[in-house]
Structure 1
Amino acid sequence: MPDWTYHPLRGAAAAVLGERRSQRTALRLLASIGARPAGARLISRGFGHRHPPRRLAGELGGVPLTVRLGIAVPPALAHDVVRAMPPLGAGVVEVGPVAAADVETVREAAAGRSIPVVVRTGDPEVRAALGAHVDGFTSEGDAHVVTGPSVTEAAAALDDPDTVVLARPSVLVAAGPGWFARVVEAATPTAPAPRLRDVGRDPRRWPAWCWALLVGLGMTVAGLCAAGITLGPVLLWYDRDYLGMTLHDLHAANHHLVHFLQHDRITMAGTMVSIGALYTGLAVGGIRRNRPWAREVFLLSGAVGFPTLFYFLATGFVEPLHTAAALVLFPMFLAGVRRVPHTARWRRVPEGPERERRRALTGQLLLIVTGVGLFVGGAVISVVGLTGVFVPTDLTFLGTSAEALEEVSPRLVPFVAHDRAGFGGALMSAAVAITLLSAWGWRRGEAWVFWSLAVAAAAGFLPAVVVHGTIRYTDLVHLAPVYLGIALTATGLLLARPYLCASESVAEDPASLTEDSASVADDSETVAEDSETVTDDSASLTEDSACLTEERTPSAVPPR
């Protein structure tokens, strides 16, 4: 339930389950996952949340906090909130107001906690009963409570080292579960990013981002060279030596065969250029600015791509140029992923219109879906290349069978298998970069994210469409995934462009929040009206009760 699923899908979830039930279901699911160490790590790292800077540490009611940012909830929500909020970036949960009837509920909520829990109450008996079960107690006015989704307001409040910021559940309903991470990032002090002229001539002193940039440029050059070879001689000397055949011999054996080899290799070349564009963007826009997630995107993508060199163990064909490129780029890759001291060097850009962000989140979801689809496609292509080599539409285009091709040359099918499996491996590597860059890099004003994805999409999709049309391999079933990928990518980037490419000088427009915030407020009021009253003598809550009493502060349910 990151923001890129919460906002685009919340309407559909509300239509199926109802607004209140969908929120409670999301909260309980997050609590169930977050209560387990592995689940908490999955949410925290999978959604790109990072450790806050030390300057955001502090205390509340004498309780030390790693980050002075948390949430204030009524007792009835405490059990799920205490388990759901830590992976999202919250540093404390305040439960209150707490009366004598709520003591057992708070005890159960605080058991097994991984986050400081403080209780807001003025009742000495309640304090005595809960003293051994919670971390501390607060009173009205001890924390700065925010009721609106503005990240700027919360980050500004955190500038005071003595201020603890607590959000009402309605804030997360309006902003989404990523609100904590966005506030922490906005409150993180930054420094100017280094320039290329600041890098010395001694390679031993080059920062990691320079090496990552070289890998990106190297992949781009390698892809362009591969495209040049494919559009020119097609076969190099080592190809002819391995096959024992010339281009003329291949054409004589099957007049579609040369075109088939070109179509495999040009799509591979386009994918290599795509990877180069993504790595170049990650190096200059992310790693250079010490974005921790940018290094991880680069690392994980390379960790998928480089081992595919060993596909030759299954195909039996070792391509010298492919091997040479990998041996040159791999040491640079290792230098590019080494850890460096983390000093934030990114730019701070105002929040801007909330509706603009909501549209961008829909675009983000489409790009992530595209990336996941590309990864699945790459995995399937790799498996096909390492096993059957051809799919039915390939053999229909060639007008022959795999057995007939093996009769032409016993090395012909392994030769094709090498190209096909290698393309699948490159596609998986690019897909990892696209998916994680889209999941972790979506921020207002980060134009490099938009252009990296746009160039990568153009380099990957356009050659594939053009080469298939040129050789008249236009089977709709074969090309349907390509057309779908183009549609999803184009739509996603168009929706996100105003947000990602926003000017740094644009000031925040608070009025832009009114439409969506008012809608959320109306939804919250509906939830409140439909909720059942919980009396002081209540020992437990039914699934549909909304824990509102005259003495308690009304609140909406945190989002999924």
Structure 2
Amino acid sequence: MSDPSVTAAATALKKPGAVVLARPGALVEAGPGWFARVTEAATPTAPAPALRDVGRDPRRWPGWWWALLVGLGMTGAGLGAAAITLGPVLLRYDRDYLGMSLHELRAANHHLVHFLQHDRITMAGTMVAIGALYTGLAVGGIRRGRSWAREAYLLSGAIGFPTLFYFLATGFVEPLHTATAIVLFPMFVAAVRRTPHPPRWRLAPEGPEPERRRALVGQLLLIVTGAGLLVGGAVISLAGLTSVFVPADLAFLSTGPQTLEAVNPRLVPFVAHDRAGFGGALMAAAVAIILLSAWGWRRGDAWVFWTLAVAAAAGFLPTVVVHGAIHCTDFIHLAPVHFGIAMTGTGLMLAHPYLCAQASTRPKD
């Protein structure tokens, strides 16, 4: 076929023994996931189950329900981390590990508490973003039997959960972080090991070609943004496990790591835990963004748009706000954040008419 039309390919497959071949040019015009979209269009489906149909027996809960619980758990954990950071900043076990109070930290370096808040707020925002991504993948994808949504969820979690063991390098074990991972990991396993649902998706008819092409550009921008976040998360993780601080951090603190180690030898490992953990969470979110954007582009699937939009708001806005609040506004340091916001905003704006096609154009269940 030289035509990237999903409908034409699906119609051709209805003929007994039919084989559909696509030219490279058609695949380029169609964008990622063309074969999956054609397969979905040619597959008989049923309506997706409602939340009330899940039942009360956990032994019978489907995988998407467990995935939803992980998403909600990550969101709650992120909001809880943000509340702690904006409130006491340090919990009792933090103070016990450091052997210092907030007052003593401020006395050691008047920027240090703000620096810790900036690290932890960005981490909390990323956790909420992961929660939004997992919730969207669970309800919008896994619940409808889309295997690619389960794979995206699995690959993201396979990166995120092992970062708990960063403590082997940093030397600081945070009880709340550990407890959250212990509670959520069995749910994550239950989500991915259950047999996938039979097909239950709904397909919208193909719309205007200019709309599809604009959405294709938006898709590319989201994939590139996700790739940038993945690289950024890897760099931040590496920094947290090695040098800990980047030049912009030391310029903000107006000091060096040797000075901080002289004040308290546990201070740098404490910061390293937050820094490396943030990098790991960012990589997990990035993988979900890349795969959701690459595999989930379907006309009329508004859940994809809102999942990405909520995740972007949760991840980017707290980062910008906290940097402004503590007056850490180095242009080079924040340039990737502003670039990511511009890329994501533009991509979602271009894709909105395609992903959020009017319900009247979609077949009823």
Q: TM-score, normalized by length of structure 1?
A: 0.62
Listed one character per residue, the Cα deviations across residues 226-281 of structure 1 (whole Å, up to 9, x for unaligned) are: 00000000010000000000000000111000000000000000000000000000
Return the offset for 1:460. 0.5
CA distance in 1, matches of 2:22, 2:244: 57
Structure 1 match to 2:233: 378
Contact 2:142 2:197 in 1 (8 A): no
Name the Cα RMSD after superposition.
1.9
Contact 2:121 2:319 in 1 (8 A): yes
CA distance in 2, matches of 1:235, 1:173: 53
CA distance in 1, matches of 2:359, 2:47: 14
The correspondence of residues 518-537 of structure 1 with structure 2, limited to 5 A, is none
Distance verdict in 2 for CA 1:404–1:332, change over 3 Å: same
Listed one character per residue, the Cα deviations across residues 116-156 of structure 1 (whole Å, up to 9, x for unaligned) are: xxxxxxxxxxxxxxxxxxxxxxxxxxxxxxx7554323423
Distance verdict in 2 for CA 1:316–1:174, change over 3 Å: closer
SS of structure 2 residue aligned to 1:400: coil
Return the offset for 1:176. 3.6
Q: Work out which of the residue numbers 301, 309, 313 in structure 2 matches 1:446.
A: 301
CA distance in 2, matches of 1:498, 1:406: 54
Return the offset for 1:384. 0.6
Task: Note the residue ranges of structure 1 that are not aligned, 5 or more in a row.
Answer: 1-70, 72-146, 509-560
Structure 2 match to 1:214: 69
1:357 counterpart = 2:233: no
Q: TM-score, normalized by length of structure 2?
A: 0.95
SS of structure 2 residue aligned to 1:505: helix
SS of structure 2 residue aligned to 1:215: helix
Q: Work out which of the residue numbers 283, 307, 331 in structure 1 matches 2:186.
A: 331
Return the offset for 1:157. 4.0
Distance verdict in 2 for CA 1:183–1:402, change over 3 Å: same
Return the offset for 1:172. 2.4
The correspondence of residues 167-246 of structure 1 with structure 2, limited to 5 A, is 169=23, 172=26, 175-176=29-30, 179-246=34-101
Contact 1:216 1:275 in 2 (8 A): yes
Return the offset for 1:500. 0.6
CA distance in 2, matches of 1:195, 1:506: 22
**Larger relative contact order (C-alpha < 8 A, sep ≥ 6)?**
2
Return the offset for 1:330. 0.3
Return the offset for 1:355. 1.1
Structure 2 match to 1:101: none
CA distance in 2, matches of 1:394, 1:170: 47
1:308 partner letter: T
Distance verdict in 2 for CA 1:454–1:394, change over 3 Å: same
CA distance in 2, matches of 1:227, 1:220: 11
Task: Note the residue ranges of structure 2 that are not aligned, 5 or more in a row.
Answer: none
1:347 partner letter: R
1:418 counterpart = 2:273: yes
Structure 2 match to 1:61: none
Return the offset for 1:181. 3.9
Return the offset for 1:393. 1.0
Contact 1:157 1:163 in 2 (8 A): no
Contact 2:160 2:283 in 1 (8 A): yes
- Rg larger in 1 or in 2? 1
Aligned positions, number:
362
CA distance in 2, matches of 1:166, 1:324: 50
CA distance in 2, matches of 1:168, 1:381: 41
Distance verdict in 2 for CA 1:209–1:375, change over 3 Å: same
Q: Work out which of the residue numbers 304, 321, 334 in structure 2 matches 1:466.
A: 321
CA distance in 2, matches of 1:282, 1:205: 20
2:188 partner letter: F
Q: Work out which of the residue numbers 345, 354, 358 in structure 2 matches 1:499.
A: 354
Contact 2:145 2:197 in 1 (8 A): yes
Structure 2 match to 1:477: 332
CA distance in 1, matches of 2:239, 2:22: 52
SS of structure 2 residue aligned to 1:376: helix
CA distance in 1, matches of 2:159, 2:23: 40
Structure 2 match to 1:15: none
Return the offset for 1:348. 1.6
Listed one character per residue, the Cα deviations across residues 327-358 of structure 1 (whole Å, up to 9, x for unaligned) are: 00000000011141451110021011111111
Q: Work out which of the residue numbers 234, 258, 267 in structure 1 matches 2:122.
A: 267
Q: Work out which of the residue numbers 435, 441, 447 in structure 1 matches 2:290.
A: 435
Distance verdict in 2 for CA 1:400–1:495, change over 3 Å: same
SS of structure 2 residue aligned to 1:299: helix
SS of structure 2 residue aligned to 1:337: helix
1:308 counterpart = 2:133: no
**Higher-helix-fraction structure:** 2
Contact 1:389 1:413 in 2 (8 A): yes
Structure 2 match to 1:393: 248
Return the offset for 1:185. 2.0
CA distance in 2, matches of 1:281, 1:221: 15
Return the offset for 1:200. 1.1
1:164 counterpart = 2:18: yes
CA distance in 1, matches of 2:282, 2:190: 23
